[in-house]
Amino acid sequence: MKIVFASTPGQEEKVVELARYFYTDIFPLYFSDEDIHEFERLEVLHTRPEQFERFSTLGDAFQVITSMQTLISILESGHIPEKYQWMFRKNVQTLTDYGICFPFNYSQFSDSKHVHLDYISTYTKAANSLLL
């Protein structure tokens, strides 16, 4: 008999939080608002309740979370060393295996400079908030 533990609501929330982080902190470094809007339309990193069924165990949810966190770490490093290509591809494949769309390849980020250094994206989180 094999005992499997289901993923927790907290893990599902973490996946959604990480997807949001891509849109607010990662994508604006590499893509224009028009591109990011298109990613939303194409449901890049979009999760639905039925997708959570694909990673219904603790181990599956952990793999998805770890893959997303690894991709974030690689992309936040600014310059992506060549030696991380295989790691990038492996984690994109893991997301794909679990039904999460991440249609990017390594060169889209490695060939890219941090696109909009003097550009403020509408997707970026506000640095502060004004209380009235």
Q: In sequence order, what DSSP letters do the residues of 29-83 get, joined into one string?
A: HHS-HHHHHHHHHTTTT---HHHHTTT-BHHHHHHHHHHHHHHHHHHHTSS--GG
What would the two tokens of residue 19 be? Answer: 């997807």
Identify whether the C-beta of residue 61 lies closer than 8 Å to the C-beta of residue 11.
Answer: yes
pLDDT < 70 stretches in the chain: 1-7, 50-56, 78, 111-132
What would the two tokens of residue 72 be? Answer: 């974030």
pTM of this prediction?
A: 0.79
Question: What is the phi/psi pair of residue 99, to 5°?
Answer: 80, 20
pLDDT of residue 61: 86
pLDDT in tens, 36-72: 999 999 999 998 776 666 666 778 889 999 999 999 9
Q: Which of 44, 40, 32, 58 is nearest to 112 (CA)?
A: 32
